[in-house]
């Protein structure tokens, strides 16, 4: 009689792809946890939410403190006004932010994604709403599998109401940075909002609801360009969240009072808690993966297990490849020094540019006619000088020529402008002394503050005369 061979499931290292295969409609239900990194993340996100939702309501000098006034092409920020001519400074600020992000990524991997990225922060907020309305992880899984009934309807409605309320507030706040928030909110509450404003508020409401409520980790995994290229910035000393394989394997359950070495096990008890708290649903024990957003939830979860088991913390921790290989993490390294040096130089240059920023602007447009002879028989050219008072006070300005020997500026040369006023001043320049051999030459205009001549701006144009003079 042939004997049946007993078959049993053998716990092996599954290939990562196989482990991650999930039905396309499956949601990731994360488990609640506490810990140092969660506290840090909540503090960081709380500060950012406060700054985002609160700043828009602040007033400064009688107007909204931070407002990008699209209608007038001006950016107001705490009493300073930036004009389209200043937007090069904004580009410089964005480049500085990009370099700052590069430097931080080289040093500490995806801390931006884990702690401050709006996508992650809003996702955590929406997950909290889910917990409040649908319960803990197990309850949510049960609710998802349950057929539709009154309980499911009420809980789901409550969740989506919370999501929509946060999304609407986010949409309104975002648009409020481009259109004054107080009238905008009033219009929304009284159902009188104009079509364009309403479109953008609803657009950003929908974007928040979709991204943080439904797409979540898919944005990080499939849509975010930063996630794609940041791994090339990593080096062997970059801090990443890693599982200590040498210490953790072989993984397996055991009683609390059993020493791992005595049963041939490592420190990982294979409780799966690190997987259950992961917002992207991956297993950190499979190694560094592109899907890992560096939120450190798995560190908090594993540390709590290590505490319960009486083992040292840090089975999952911030570490570097060098450290995992038994070496030391080098903080100062050429790439990091290079990024930091460029960053410091750029911050310094931006600071100087901001301080030196001319508070009066001058643009010159030459009349399309080439030249003409005036009543005194002098050759003259016509110009239009566009002057902008970029300050918050009324200012008196003087118009003049720089190194204008042989030329005379004619027309209005003293003007007074209200705060933020733009004016066009028509002037003519007459050539009082012949300059033989040249039919066209550079001519420089200057506008300067009457009380503070140091505040000035210059602009060049051409003076055209007949050749044969
Ligand atoms: S593996 Fe850990 S750090 Fe990475 S996303 Fe998941 S929980 Fe966050
Ligand atoms: S939480 Fe720690 S002990 Fe539990 S499975 Fe993850 S690595 Fe192992």
Rounded Cα–Cα distance for residues 373 and 375 (Å): 7
Higher pLDDT, 136 or 376: 136
Q: Quickly state the pLDDT bin for 468 (edges 50, 70, 90).
A: low
Return the ligand 1 atom nearest residue 299 CA.
2
The pLDDT, as a whole number, for residue 436 is: 59
**pLDDT tens readout for residues 447-461:** 999 998 889 999 999
Where do the domains of the chain lie?
24-55+109-233, 240-324, 360-464
In this structure, what is the dihedral angle of CA atoms 385, 388, 393, 398, given to the nearest 10 degrees?
-20
* Residue that the structure tokens 């406060």 belong to: 50
Give the distance, in angstroms, between the CA of residue 70 and the centroid of all CA atoms in the same chain: 20
Q: Quickly state the pLDDT bin for 469 (edges 50, 70, 90).
A: low
Return the ligand 1 atom nearest residue 293 CA.
5
The pLDDT, as a whole number, for residue 21 is: 40
With b for 16 or more beta-carbon neighbours within 10 A and e for fewer, the 271-301 pattern comes to eebbbbbbbbbbbbbbeeeebbbbbbbbbbb
% of the chain beyond a pLDDT of 90: 63
From the candidate CATH numbers 3.40.109.10, 3.30.460.10, 3.40.1010.20, 2.60.40.10, the one assigned to the domain spanning 360-464: 2.60.40.10
211 alpha carbon to ligand 1 midpoint, in Å? 19
The pLDDT, as a whole number, for residue 459 is: 94
Q: Quickly state the pLDDT bin for 12 (edges 50, 70, 90).
A: very low
Answer whether residue 8 shows pLDDT above 70.
no
Are 180 and 76 a contacting pair, CB within 8 Å? no
Q: Quickly state the pLDDT bin for 435 (edges 50, 70, 90).
A: low
The pLDDT, as a whole number, for residue 326 is: 85
The pLDDT, as a whole number, for residue 1 is: 38
Q: Is the pTM of this model over 0.85?
A: no
Whether the CB of 273 sits within 6 Å of ligand 2: yes
**pLDDT tens readout for residues 358-375:** 889 999 999 887 788 888
- Average pLDDT of the segment spanning 379-398: 92
Return the ligand 1 atom nearest residue 277 CA.
7
Residue 123: which of 50, 214, 36, 206 has the closest Cα? 214
- Give the residue, by CA position, lying nearest to ligand 2 atom 7: 268
Q: How far apart are the first and last CA of the chain?
A: 125
Whether the CB of 278 sits within 6 Å of ligand 1: yes
**pLDDT tens readout for residues 412-424:** 999 999 988 999 9
The pLDDT, as a whole number, for residue 304 is: 97
Whether the CB of 297 sits within 6 Å of ligand 2: no
Q: Quickly state the pLDDT bin for 176 (edges 50, 70, 90).
A: very high
Structure tokens that stand for 49 in this block: 């939410």
302 alpha carbon to ligand 2 midpoint, in Å? 5
Q: How many CB atoms lie within 10 A of CB 10?
A: 5
Answer whether residue 290 shows pLDDT above 50.
yes
295 alpha carbon to ligand 1 midpoint, in Å? 5
The pLDDT, as a whole number, for residue 437 is: 58
The pLDDT, as a whole number, for residue 28 is: 87
The pLDDT, as a whole number, for residue 438 is: 63
Rounded Cα–Cα distance for residues 95 and 101 (Å): 10
**pLDDT tens readout for residues 25-51:** 467 899 999 999 999 999 989 999 999
Higher pLDDT, 83 or 169: 169
289 alpha carbon to ligand 1 midpoint, in Å? 9
Return the ligand 2 atom nearest residue 272 CA.
5
Sequence-separated (6 or more) residues with CB below 8 Å from residue 10: none
Higher pLDDT, 87 or 309: 309
Q: Quickly state the pLDDT bin for 11 (edges 50, 70, 90).
A: very low
- Give the residue, by CA position, lying nearest to ligand 1 atom 2: 298
- Give the residue, by CA position, lying nearest to ligand 1 atom 4: 292
**pLDDT tens readout for residues 200-234:** 999 999 999 999 999 998 898 888 888 777 778 88
Whether the CB of 294 sits within 6 Å of ligand 1: yes
- Give the residue, by CA position, lying nearest to ligand 2 atom 3: 268
Please give the radius of gyration of the chain, using alpha carbons only, rounded to the nearest integer: 33
**pLDDT tens readout for residues 259-279:** 898 899 999 999 999 999 999
């Amino acid at each position: 009689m042939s004997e049946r061979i007993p078959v049993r499931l053998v716990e092996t290292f599954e290939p990562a792809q196989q482990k991650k295969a999930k039905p396309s409609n499956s949601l990731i239900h994360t488990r609640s946890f506490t810990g140092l990194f969660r506290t840090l993340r909540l503090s960081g996100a709380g500060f950012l939410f406060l700054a985002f939702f609160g700043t828009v309501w602040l007033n400064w000098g009688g107007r909204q403190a931070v407002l990008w006034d699209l209608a007038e092409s001006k950016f107001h920020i705490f009493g300073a006004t930036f004009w389209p001519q200043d937007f090069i400074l904004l580009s410089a600020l964005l480049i500085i932010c990009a370099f700052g992000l590069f430097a931080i990524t080289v040093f500490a991997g995806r801390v931006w994604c884990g702690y401050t990225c709006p996508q992650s922060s809003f996702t955590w907020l929406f997950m909290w709403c889910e917990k409040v309305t649908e319960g803990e992880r197990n309850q949510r899984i049960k609710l998802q599998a349950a057929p539709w009934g009154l309980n499911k309807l009420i809980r789901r409605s409550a969740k989506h109401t919370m999501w929509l309320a946060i999304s609407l507030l986010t949409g309104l706040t975002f648009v409020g940075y481009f259109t004054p928030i107080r009238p905008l909110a009033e219009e929304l509450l009284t159902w009188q909002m104009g079509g364009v404003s309403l479109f953008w508020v609803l657009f950003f409401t929908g974007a928040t609801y979709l991204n943080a409520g439904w797409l979540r980790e898919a944005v990080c995994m499939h849509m975010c360009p930063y996630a794609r290229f940041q791994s090339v910035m990593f080096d062997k000393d970059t801090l990443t969240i890693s599982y200590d394989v040498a210490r953790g394997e072989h993984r397996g359950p055991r009683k609390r009072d059993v020493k791992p070495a005595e049963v041939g096990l490592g420190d990982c008890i294979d409780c799966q808690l690190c997987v259950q708290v992961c917002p992207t649903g991956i297993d950190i024990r499979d190694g560094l993966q592109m899907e890992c957003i560096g939120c450190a939830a798995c560190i908090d979860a594993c540390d709590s297990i290590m505490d319960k088991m009486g083992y040292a913390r840090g089975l999952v921790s911030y570490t570097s490849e060098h450290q995992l290989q038994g070496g030391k993490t080098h903080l100062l390294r050429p790439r990091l020094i290079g990024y930091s040096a460029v960053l410091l130089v750029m911050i310094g240059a931006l600071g100087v540019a901001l301080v030196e920023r001319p508070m009066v602007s001058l643009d010159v447009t030459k009349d399309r006619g080439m030249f003409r002879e005036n009543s005194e028989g002098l050759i003259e050219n016509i110009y239009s000088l566009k002057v902008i008072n970029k300050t918050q006070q009324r200012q008196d300005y003087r118009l003049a020529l720089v190194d204008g020997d042989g030329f005379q500026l004619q027309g209005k040369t003293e003007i007074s402008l209200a705060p933020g006023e733009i004016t066009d001043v028509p002037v003519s320049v007459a050539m009082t002394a012949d300059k033989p051999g040249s039919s066209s030459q550079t001519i420089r205009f200057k506008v300067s503050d009457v009380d503070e001549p140091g505040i000035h701006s210059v602009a060049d144009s051409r003076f055209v005369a007949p050749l044969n003079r």
